[in-house]
Chain A
Amino acid sequence: MGDGAAIAGLGMTELGKVYGRSPRRLAADAVRLAVADAGLALGDLDGLLVSHGLGGSPGIELADTLGLRDLRLLTHMNAFGATAGAMVSYAAMSVLSGAASTVACVFSDAPLKPRQSAGSAYQRDAPEWYGFGGMTAALGFRSVNAFYALAAQRHMARYGTTSEQLGAIAVSTREWAARNPLAQMRDPISLADHQASRWVAEPLHLLDCCLVSNGAVAVVVTGAARARDLARPPVHLWGWGQGHPGHRKERGSEFGLTTGAVSSGRSAMTMAGVTAADVDVCELYDCYTYTVLVSLEDYGFCAKGEGGAFAASGALGPGGTLPTNTGGGQLSGYYMWGMTPLSEAVVQARGDGGERQAVANDVILVSGNGGILDHHATLIVSPHERGTA
């Protein structure tokens, strides 16, 4: 064995209300941390993939900031919330093809400003609005919340999904966050707290919506054989896939009801040689509770329309049959777009979860979701080399 690719290093800056560092500086810090975590030096990198959130891109100039020389792979990537999974898959393919040997993948964001609410960082406002894009905002679509609310409401109307079922996801995710020292929101919440939290965009309460964080996260991808000789246990990449359903805004659209998790999950699980029944832990993109619910259905952990009942069954929380978002996710942990689920998957695969470590971690599914359920990425990772679990 040893012909696969693996994550050998994980670097995370301070996350949350971290001020005074630009996105490029945060990204540079995360890459340095990831390289050190792997037991490598910056000069060992021959590839760098860069991505960003709303706070401005570090740019491929990040390579210069880090003093990297003779890179064989360098680009900026953007598939919105699906970028982290996409970056890791391109890094793995580069390693497997020999195009590069050691690739850092980084995300950074700094949308939060001191003395400004988290919500306003993602809120549009203007004295007047222009054209069609402006018309939608002028009418009241001032943030992404309303668009996801439309999706969740459609699922509710079609399948009878309830706010309490969404709340079960908020509660189980917070239970995990309470066990994660890195999580931003660790005080336990009850279903009643979820129901009492203010409406943002019905059917979404405040506790259905994710956090906003500043910071950066990086991973280092290299060959499995090399990873075995490095400082930390390798996290093997068994499979990957993307799904971009291209729902059109017209009659017959499945918007809000199905996502790219269907096809990206199938691709990744086929490549990995597993089915949903083999998955021990899920780290799902949870910009909203609803995103988790629909992803669980689309991956085949339950039937279409039964995501609500599945979430309310207790399956997702500590002690449940499918530990999900074990670090508190984006809802309660930290919001580093697709790096939130990926970073926690690395922690779980290494067995570094401490109080929150899942008992079984042989097969971990990681999702990324971008746009309004428009773009999806899936990774299957494991502490074991493929075919040996």
Chain B
Amino acid sequence: MDIGVLRRDGRTDPFFDGTAAGRLVVRRCAACDRWLAPDAGGCPGCGDEDPGWAEASGAATLVTWTVTHGRPAGDGTVPPPAVLALVELAEGPWLHARLDAADPAALRGRLREGLPLTAVFVPTEQGEAHLLFRPEQGD
């Protein structure tokens, strides 16, 4: 499945400014000293509905994964599979993410809980850059 065209919506500028510059920017509540997912609706510790932003390391590990297969078209052709995942940032938050997989079949055999991953940023002709996660070399 191809990645769709992605647009910012007015509440996501720090995140997409980050992906454009090759940086992973997520939420961080300074008062609670707590990292939060970029899409967190607020800080569950103090209730702040607009916690600050901070740059995460981009290091992550694999929690769980799925290889999705699109519906076959009328002519029998099938869209290429996508490797989707829950990843755990080194700072603690989880993201629903997509793994960078030129060859999903080859990648599938390497997937395991705890597999080290690194955030990568793929510029696009249209819309915002895509945040993907790639297994570290050698893993």
User: Residues on A close to B: CB < 8 A?
Assistant: 117, 119-120, 126-142, 145-147, 149-151, 153-154, 157-158, 198-204, 248-251, 253, 255-256
Contact (A130, B66) CB under 8 Å given A136-B96, A150-B84, A248-B44: no
A222 → chain B closest CB, angstroms: 41
Known A157-B113, A251-B88: A138·B66 in contact at CB below 8 Å: no
Distance in angstroms from B97 CB to nearest chain A CB is: 7
Closest to B132 in A: A139
Residues of B within 8 A of A149 (CB): 66, 68
Residue B135, interface by CB 8 Å: no
Q: B123: CB under 8 A from chain A?
A: no
Residues from chain A with a CB closer than 8 A to the CB of B6 are: 128-130, 134-135, 138
Q: Which 10 A-B pairs have the closest CB atoms?
A: A131-B9, A149-B66, A132-B39, A138-B4, A154-B64, A128-B5, A249-B94, A139-B98, A140-B82, A202-B67
Q: Name the B residues within 8 Å of A137 (CB-CB).
A: 4
Residues of chain B within 8 A of A141, CB atoms compared? 84, 96
CB-based A-B contact count at 8 angstroms: 125
Name 9 A/B residue pairs within 8 A (Cβ), A-sorted: A132-B15, A134-B9, A141-B96, A146-B66, A154-B86, A154-B113, A157-B113, A250-B88, A253-B94
Residues of A within 8 A of B11 (CB): 131
Minimal Cβ-Cβ distance residue in B for A252: B92
| Chain B residue at minimal CB-CB distance from A119 | B71
Taking A117-B71, A127-B5 as given, write out 11 further A-B residue pairs in contact, using a Cβ cutoff of 8 Å, ordered by the A residue number.
A128-B127, A132-B15, A138-B4, A141-B96, A150-B84, A153-B66, A157-B112, A201-B66, A202-B69, A203-B66, A249-B94
CB within 8 Å for A140 and B1 given contacts A145-B68, A198-B72, A256-B64:
yes
Tell me if A158 and B113 are in contact (CB < 8 A). yes
| B67: min CB distance to chain A, Å | 4
The smallest C-beta distance from B82 to any residue of chain A, in angstroms, reads 4
* B46 at interface, CB cutoff 8 A: no
Q: Which residue of B lies closest to A246 (CB)?
A: B44
- A131, A139, A154, A202: which contacts B8 (Cβ < 8 A)? A131
Q: Which residues in chain B, 53-85, are within 8 Å of chain A measured between CB atoms?
A: 63-69, 71-72, 81-82, 84-85
- A153–B63 alpha-carbon span in the complex (Å): 10
In contact, A150 and B65 (Cβ under 8 angstroms): yes
Measured CB to CB, the closest approach of chain B to A129, in angstroms, equals: 5
- The answer for the CA separation of A134 and B81 in the assembled complex, in Å, is 19
- Residue B37 lies at the interface, judged by CB distance under 8 Å to chain A: yes
Residue of A whose beta carbon sits closest to that of B70: A142
Chain A minimum-CB-distance residue to B6: A138
Let me know if A153 and B65 touch, CB within 8 A: yes
Determine the chain B residues whose CB is within 8 A of the CB of A119 once the complex forms: 71
Asked if A154 contacts B63 (CB within 8 A), the reply is: yes
CB distance from A136 to the nearest CB of B (A): 5
A142 to chain B, nearest CB (A): 7
Shortest CB distance B63–A (Å): 7
How far apart are the CA atoms of A202 and B105 in the complex, in Å?
12
Q: For A132, what are the chain B residues with a Cβ–Cβ distance below 8 Å?
A: 12, 15, 38-39
